[in-house]
Structure 1
């Protein structure tokens, strides 16, 4: 098993990243969300042009294994992890951790003192293990369905001073 490689998002990646997004939602969230919620969530990538614009609007990294895209993550602004999705076949191979490590370092380099994420219920444990702390529960309406998530925050860099 090789380690994941990271590279910047290219517009040509949009279709494969949309497929990874849908596969992740459909295969990895069933314990926490209903089928109707999953369908509403997955529909966010149906308009590939809009999905591509969302990916291009932030700093999006693509993780590859043996040259094939298997995951992606986006930094929105300097301090919000907007998207983190891994293809179900690549779960447990360090893909999400590599993407998070890179975005945490990039956020710190951009001057962020902390990083926030609105973590789905199935992703919250991953972020807790990485040192993120739950701040508040949220309920969001997506394509006619209500989904819950948790805003989580992690301090970056110097922990001796400044606001959290």
Structure 2
């Protein structure tokens, strides 16, 4: 089976239920080594209110990645320089979806003038971001639905080389 690069497109409100399902599946199936079942359930509940979840996605720059025309992951940029969400469906994990989404957000942030990009990485995502040049800055404890979860704020300095043919 040839692995084709994921296709990226902007978020549409109609995508909300599918992205909520990807969010929950990603948490429940990919984070078990790092978080307890109670922590996973509290985290996944963040998408149960689909209206609120959709508004959050619509309020950020959200990209959707598809393989064979089926959405398999999404990522969002909050403000000019913070990756707020990056989730890939377990069936598509390890196929370059997260990397394609991250590449796109890094390019967009850089094009918008951001010098650095930050992310609050879950423990299971630390290696992914570390391999991309993100450096751990601080450990955090966050409360989600009465459960404490740890994450790590990581930062990457973006390439500040001027884009050829573009404006500085």
Give me the TM-score of the superposition, normalised by structure 2. 0.93
Match of 1:14 in 2: 16
- Whether 2:123 is the aligned partner of 1:121: answer yes
SS at structure 1 position matched to 2:95:
coil
What are the residue-to-residue correspondences of 1:28-39 with 2, within 5 Å? Answer: 28-39=30-41
Runs of 4 or more, structure 1, over 3 Å off, are none
Cα RMSD between the aligned structures? 0.8
Q: Kindly tell me the number of residue pairs found equivalent between the two proteins.
A: 159
Whole-angstrom CA distance in 2 between matches of 1:19 and 1:2: 23
Whole-angstrom CA distance in 2 between matches of 1:86 and 1:126: 12
Whole-angstrom CA distance in 1 between matches of 2:158 and 2:36: 34
Kept in 1, the 8 Å contact 2:82–2:118? The answer is: yes
Aligned pair partner of 2:53 in 51, 67, 80? 51
Give me the TM-score of the superposition, normalised by structure 1. 0.96
Unaligned runs of 5+ in 2: 162-168
Unaligned runs of 5+ in 1: 160-164
Kept in 1, the 8 Å contact 2:110–2:160? The answer is: no
Q: CA deviation at 1:61?
A: 0.1
1:65-116 CA distance string (max 9 Å, x none): 0100000000000000000000000001100000000000000001100000
Q: CA deviation at 1:158?
A: 2.4
Match of 1:142 in 2: 144
Match of 1:162 in 2: none
Match of 1:86 in 2: 88
- Whether 2:13 is the aligned partner of 1:3: answer no
Match of 2:113 in 1: 111
